[in-house]
Amino acid sequence: MWSSSVSPVEDRIAALYNHELKERGYHNLVTVWWNIELDFLSFSVHDGHRRQQWTDKDQEVYFNPDFMRRVWFPIPMKTQATVRRPDEGFLRPHLYRDKLPEERKVVLSPEVEARVQAQEAAGRLVFGEETVTATK
């Protein structure tokens, strides 16, 4: 479990998609949050964004309550990425246990530690009863 001053682990995959915006042109594709104490994973998956110059007519059409209520999009999204099953997901984020040892004290319960070790051996997320078989 974490000391009370440390937040859950967050890991993200991002890339510079809009070079014109320099450091503001990064796009976050996937974020994984891991509450170590509960061994709870949460994911946020995003489709790509692109810059758009809106004409006055576009703004009238697209940016009004009726249009927004219908959840219409001017162009279809390229992906509908989602994680439906554990084997489609990402592994628990790496803990970097030796990083900043004075500020970050990472202590896992024996159950969570076993799941992490089983995950590393299996190359995929491991939950519950699988832990026993994956660590043998």
Nearest by Cα to 112 from 44, 43, 41, 31: 41
Average pLDDT, the chain: 77
Tell whether the model's pLDDT for residue 99 goes beyond 80: yes
Contacts of 44 (CB under 8 A, 6+ apart): 28, 30, 31, 33
pTM (2 decimals)? 0.60
Tell whether the model's pLDDT for residue 52 goes beyond 90: no
34 near 106, Cβ under 8 Å?
no
Residue with tokens 């939950």: 127
Q: What is the pLDDT of residue 3?
A: 41
Q: Strand (E) positions, the chain? A: 9-16, 26-35, 40-45
22-36, 68-82, 84-98: which range is least confident on average?
A: 68-82
Q: What is the pLDDT of residue 55?
A: 92
At residue 34, what is the residue type?
W
Q: What is the pLDDT of residue 1?
A: 40
Q: What sign results for the dihedral spanned by CA atoms 101, 14, 10, 34?
A: negative
> What are φ and ψ of residue 21, in 5° steps?
-85, 0
pLDDT category, 61, cuts 50, 70, 90? Answer: confident
Q: What is the pLDDT of residue 115?
A: 92
Tell whether the model's pLDDT for residue 114 goes beyond 80: yes
